[in-house]
Amino acid sequence: MTETLRAVLSILSEPSGACWSCGEMRAAHFCSACGKVQPPVPVDYFSFFGFPRKLNIDEKRLEQEFYDLSRKLHPDVYAQAENREQQWSLEQSSLLNDAYRTLKDPIKRTEYLLRLEGVELEEQSKSATEKARASGEIKKQVVPPDLLEEVFELNMQLEEVRAQKKLGEDDPALIEEIGKQKLALEEKYEALLSELKGYWADWDKLVDCGTEDDRRDVRNKMVDVLNRRNYIRNLVRDVNEVLES
């Protein structure tokens, strides 16, 4: 057997690497040689767009790729194609939409990357909630330490408003005070996004050359920011419920 023949056979024995139609090597969605749509392969959303697993992404390029692929995968293009090509283009389309929606949103992108890294955000907040319930500290989540004082005071004030409303009373000064605190919380909520983006830069540097310890450290910081953000969001929701009731 010649070297060339051996090489050809090795490509053929790995069908995931070769175009189903012409046998050339293919890109993730379309064959670069003949342009035929390819059956979807399990890839993460970053790889789907050909991006590294970094958090600072070229948003312009993401958008361009999205519109370009959307057009190429449009059902009209496959109206005359054989069934399996129609099917693949639909599957690729739905993958494309999920991948785009996830990566273009800074929070979803971060949460997605953390999941790829094996961090279960929901599990984590669930266990924190259960711990808090068991200790009777607070009904929902563990209070971020830097918010402890404010949250304590705000919850007291919310209780007071609830009690007043039951009695049909009204305290405009208290409502105004709560409104001010809500505004401050909303500002903190926005600031957390900037803090998170600061960790993106740290993460991206570590992707290629960092140690696992360094990476874990940055992951934990990002998880912490996301948890604090969720906590504030729930708190603002509570405030709104009381103010609107």
User: Which residue's CB is nearer to Zn ion, number 38 or number 110?
Assistant: 38
Q: How far is the CB of 26 from Zn ion (least distance, A)?
A: 6
Binding site for Zn ion (CB under 5 A): 19, 21-22, 24, 31, 33-34
Q: Minimum distance from CB of 33 to Zn ion (Å)?
A: 5
Q: Based on CB atoms, which residue is closest to Zn ion, 7 or 22? A: 22
SS (H, E, C) the chain: CCHHHHHHHHHHCCHHHECCCCCCEECCCEECCCCCECCCCCCCHHHHCCCCCCCCCCHHHHHHHHHHHHHHCCHHHHCCCCHHHHHHHHHHHHHHHHHHHHHHCHHHHHHHHHHHCCCCHHHHHHHHHHHHHHHCCCCCCCCCHHHHHHHHHHHHHHHHHHHHHHCCCCCHHHHHHHHHHHHHHHHHHHHHHHHHHHHHHHHHHHHHHCCHHHHHHHHHHHHHHHHHHHHHHHHHHHHHHHHHC
Nearer CB in complex with Zn ion: 85/111: 85
Nearest distance, CB of residue 92 and Zn ion, angstroms: 15
Nearer to Zn ion, 9 or 34 (CB): 34
- Residue closer to Zn ion (CB basis): 39 or 179: 39
Residue 19 CB, nearest approach to Zn ion (Å): 3
